[in-house]
Amino acid sequence: MNYADVLKMIEDEDISYVDVRFTDPRGKLQHVTVHRDMIDEDFFEDGFMFDGSSIAGWKSIDNSDMMLILDPASAYIDPFYAEKTLAIHCSVVEPDTGEAYSRDPRGTAQKAEAYLKSSGIGDVAYMGPEAEFFLFDDVRFSVEMNKVSFQIDAQDASWNSDTEYEMGNSGHRPGIKGGYFPVNPIDDAQDIRSEMLSTMKNIGMKVDKHHHEVASCQHELGLVFDTLTKQADELQKYKYVIHNVAHAYGKSATFMPKPYYGDNGTGMHVNMSIWKDGKPLFAGDKYADLSQEALWFIGGILKHAKTLNAFTNPATNSYKRLIPGFEAPVLRAYSASNRSGAVRIPWTESPKAKRVEARFPDPAANPYLCFAALLMAGLDGIKNKIDPGPASDKDLYDLPPEELDGIPTVCSSLREALECLESDHDFLLAGDVFTKDQIDGYLAIKWEEVYAFEHMPHPIEYKMYYSC
Active-site positions read 51, 130, 132, 213, 220, 269, 339, 357, 359
- The answer to whether 448 is annotated as binding is no
- On whether 59 is known to bind a ligand per the annotation, the reply is no
The closest of 305, 303, 276 to 291, measured between CA atoms, is 276
Burial class (CB in 10 A: 0-12, 13-18, 19+), 277: exposed
220 is in an annotated binding site: yes
213 is in an annotated binding site: yes
210 annotated as a binding-site residue: no
- DSSP class of residue 199 equals H
DSSP-assigned states of every residue in 279-347: EETTBSSSGGGB-HHHHHHHHHHHHTHHHHHHHHS-STTHHHHSSTTTT---B--EEES-TTSSEEE--
321 in a known ligand binding site: yes
First to last CA, the chain: 66
- Beta-carbon contacts of 30 under 8 Å, excluding residues fewer than 6 positions away, are 21, 22, 23, 24, 55
Q: What does the alpha-carbon distance between residue 188 and residue 165 come to, in Å, rounded to a whole number?
A: 16
Alpha-helical (H) ranges within 182-304 are: 190-202, 228-248, 292-303
Q: Find out whether 265 is annotated in a ligand binding site.
A: yes
CB burial of residue 438 (10 Å; 0-12, 13-18, 19+): buried
344 in a labelled binding site: no
208: annotated binding-site residue?
Answer: yes
Is 130 assigned a ligand-binding role in the annotation? Answer: yes
Within a 13 Å sphere around the CA of 416, how many CA atoms are in the beta-carbon half? Answer: 12
Does 219 belong to an annotated binding site?
Answer: no
106 vs 59: CA distance, rounded Å? 16
Q: Is the dihedral of CA 362, 368, 370, 375 positive or negative?
A: positive
Q: What is the three-class DSSP state of 201?
A: helix
Is 244 labelled a binding residue?
A: no
Query: 136 with 252: CB under 8 angstroms?
Result: yes
**Whole-number Å distance between alpha carbons of 365 and 371:** 9
Residue 306 near residue 298 (C-beta atoms within 8 A): no
User: Which residues make up each annotated binding site for L-glutamate?
Assistant: 264-265, 321, 327, 339, 359
As annotated, the binding site includes: 130, 132, 208, 213, 220, 264-265, 269, 321, 327, 339, 352, 357, 359
Question: Annotated binding residues for ATP, as ranges?
Answer: 208, 339, 352
**Binding site, annotated residues for Mg(2+):** 130, 132, 213, 220, 269, 357
